[in-house]
Amino acid sequence: MLKQKLAKTEVLVALAIVGLAIIFSVINPVFLSVRNLFDLLRSSIVMGMFALGVLVVIVSGGIDVSFTAIAVFAMYVTVKLLKAIDFQGTLLVGFVIAALIGLALGLINALFIARFKLSTLIVTLGTQSLFRGFLLFVVGSQLIRDIPDSMTSFAKLNLITIQTADGTLASLPAAVLLLAAAALVTWLVLQYTLLGRGIYALGGSREAAERAGFPIRRIQLFIYSFVGVLSGIAGLTYGSLNRQANPFDIVGSELDVIAAVVLGGAQITGGRGSVVGTLLGVFLVVIMNNSLILAGIPSVWQKVVIGVIIIIGTGIPAFQQRRAERRARIALAE
């Protein structure tokens, strides 16, 4: 039943993407150009990595809003460290450093949530401010434009380059492979491991998961460590693609990411969600954010649209659940 509901949601989101593509292409034919499609995929990379981490949290019944603060913290500290030692090697080292920083910050969340059983939303709201404040007032708040050469080289590395009709080149960055790898790992964990079953069970009912013998603390430790690692890698990817390290970037995009995960079929109360649905939700949000401008709609309306999406995305499943419960009570009464 759960898989059927997820599949139905994924189909609906896919149809919505097709419908929007048709509408936007009629309004502005540029929408279906190779360049614009590559730009949409490029914009989905970092948001998609964030969304995969948020998916795991929401499936477990929690809410994390600190992932952007972790990302910008890891990105900025990694860049400053690489510059301080005049690092000339591969960016793989940078990704390892960013992932370790993200892991450490994620473990702080895990400590408060798993050890002291505090609300996930309250904890991550607090650590978001903590991480961001420490970054700006202790580490630094200056924009860094002269990033390490390895980051620039990574940004220039393309997976596909196509010459368009007007003679210009349209490129898809190789960073999309990071999103693909993150999606594969998340999918394997959720679908084919005992840990993944524990995450779903925790989101369905913590008490039932404990009675079933799942190690709740260890599961939560993994969840927020996983989010931290993904956020650290996503942060450095963002800095590389934008070719600068700005400590004021990224934070504030949490709403878009959560909206994408909810749109993809994840139940905000936990116990339901899929990687495919999440990626479709990300692409849908990216299409709306990037294409409203092509349609001539002011960018200030983007947040309004995202807010409506969250209300609809959470309201419809809740309405359907109440209707199903009402039908079940009627059936029992008869």
Residue 31 has pLDDT above 80, yes or no: yes
Q: Let me know if 161 is exposed, middle or buried by CB neighbors in 10 A (0-12, 13-18, 19+).
A: exposed
CATH number at residue 150: 1.10.3470
92 vs 265 pLDDT, higher one: 92
Residue 314 has pLDDT above 70, yes or no: no
294 vs 83 pLDDT, higher one: 83
- Specify the range with the lowest mean pLDDT, choosing from 141-145, 275-279, 284-288, 310-314: 310-314
What pLDDT is stored for residue 25 in this prediction? 86
What pLDDT is stored for residue 295 in this prediction? 67
Q: Number of folded domains in the chain?
A: 1
What pLDDT is stored for residue 6 in this prediction? 62
Q: How many Å from the N-terminal Cα to the C-terminal Cα in the chain? A: 24
Residue 94 has pLDDT above 90, yes or no: yes
Q: What is the DSSP secondary-structure string of 20-53?
A: HHHHHHHH-GGGGSHHHHHHHHHHHHHHHHHHHH
What pLDDT is stored for residue 135 in this prediction? 96
> Which structural domain range is residue 34 located in?
2-333
Buried b (16+ CB within 10 A) or exposed e, 129-148: eebbeebeeeeeeeebeebb
Buried b (16+ CB within 10 A) or exposed e, 66-81: bbbbbbbbbbbbbbee
pLDDT band at 190 (very low <50, low <70, confident <90, very high): very high
pLDDT per residue over 283-307, tens digit each?
988 988 877 776 666 767 777 776 7
69 vs 306 pLDDT, higher one: 69
Tell me the mean pLDDT in the region 48-62.
97
Phi-psi region of 270 (alpha: psi -120 to 50; beta: other; left: phi over 0): left
3-state secondary structure of 164: coil
Measured N-to-C along each axis, helices 34-59 and 67-84 cross at an angle, to the nearest 10 degrees, of 110
